[in-house]
Structure 1
Amino acid sequence: MNSTAATVIAEPVVTRVGDVCFDALRQLLDRGGLRLHAVADGAAIPGSFWGEPEAGIIGTDVYARADTPVHSLLHEACHLLVLPPERRALVHTDATDSVAEEDATCYLQIVLAEAIPGVGSLQLMHDMDAWGYTYRLGSTRAWFEQDAEDARAWLLQRGLLDANGRATI
């Protein structure tokens, strides 16, 4: 008997938007001048660069479903937060302009995770590793703690972090 079995690759177990308080996420983004929109289960996510279940961005709007990873929502939101307001308005799906902005985005999403009940920076870094983020030191935490001084300086220079490394939004 000849049968072919399909290989199913399961998505990594990470913290999803549906696992946390949506209002806490909405309030966090609101502090940065962004609007969070809940997308119905199974519906297409507007402005999603990587496709579902990844978050999407259009202008100052961030879109996510319950199955969207929190790290994805924060990452896309932080892409907008690192941009000057006049550039945010022009964003549709892809906001990265440089490696420096990408690094700043990754750093800021880790810092902002502390403001989300039930998540925190350590969990977010674990989720980023599980999802496949890669850094030359081997893990998100090693990058954040030992190799991200340029991203931190970039955020400090633009007033997105205070001298203690806390987000100013």
Structure 2
Amino acid sequence: MHPDNHTSASDPSSLVLCVGQIGLDHAASLLDRFGLKLQRVAANAPIPGSFWGDREAGIIGSTVYARDDTPVHSLLHEAGHLIVLPAEQREHVHTDATDSIEEEDATCYLQIVLADELPGVGRQRLMTDMDAWGYTFRLGSTQAWFERDAENARDFLIARGLPC
């Protein structure tokens, strides 16, 4: 379900909403509600804990790392990985949060829900950006998956008392 990396100016994925366009304050407050810290990374510096590299957000412990050119969907996705984990397991996370398909599905669902908490983002924009970036779902689009094929992800989040 995770994307290929895209950075070409002629590529539609280069038009995704980035952290620098929304600012860090609201995102940092959102992450703080879940016991997470958001750390800004300097422009062009490598992002610590980034699984995919390039502009993709990174995670180490309870900290999510992002640059201004990090896509918002990437920030929310990596934060979602930490949110779905029990707090005591977060300290052991470095770069790769899980091998679990169930957790990956829940993380994708959660990032969409959390987008509604960020002014100027919202779930519709986030799903469009996920599609542009290259996320792939069985039903052909993020929105189709979210609306018609994500029961397991919702159940996972509900069982853990997380927003869905």
What SS class does the counterpart of residue 36 from structure 1 fall into?
strand
Provide the C-alpha distance between the structure 2 equivalents of 1:51 and 1:134, rounded to a whole number of angstroms: 19
Partner of 1:44 in structure 2?
46
Percent identity among equivalent residues? Answer: 66
Equivalent position to 1:125, from 122, 127, 132: 127
1:77 is matched by which residue type in structure 2?
A
Q: CA deviation at 1:108?
A: 0.2
Shift >2 Å, 4+ stretches: 8-11
Provide the C-alpha distance between the structure 2 equivalents of 1:9 and 1:25, rounded to a whole number of angstroms: 26
Provide the C-alpha distance between the structure 1 equivalents of 2:83 and 2:152, rounded to a whole number of angstroms: 17
2:97 is matched by which residue type in structure 1?
A
What SS class does the counterpart of residue 62 from structure 1 fall into?
strand
Q: CA deviation at 1:75?
A: 0.3
Stretches of structure 2 lacking an aligned partner (at least 5 in a row): 1-6
Partner of 1:92 in structure 2?
94
Pairwise mapping of residues 58-69 of structure 1 onto structure 2 (< 5 A)?
58-69=60-71
Partner of 1:102 in structure 2?
104
Q: CA deviation at 1:52?
A: 1.6
Question: Is 2:113 aligned against 1:111?
Answer: yes
2:152 is matched by which residue type in structure 1?
D
What SS class does the counterpart of residue 32 from structure 1 fall into?
coil
Q: CA deviation at 1:135?
A: 0.3
- The higher radius of gyration belongs to 1
How many residue pairs match? The answer is 155
Provide the C-alpha distance between the structure 1 equivalents of 2:87 and 2:144, rounded to a whole number of angstroms: 31
Q: CA deviation at 1:97?
A: 3.1
Provide the C-alpha distance between the structure 2 equivalents of 1:146 and 1:118, rounded to a whole number of angstroms: 25
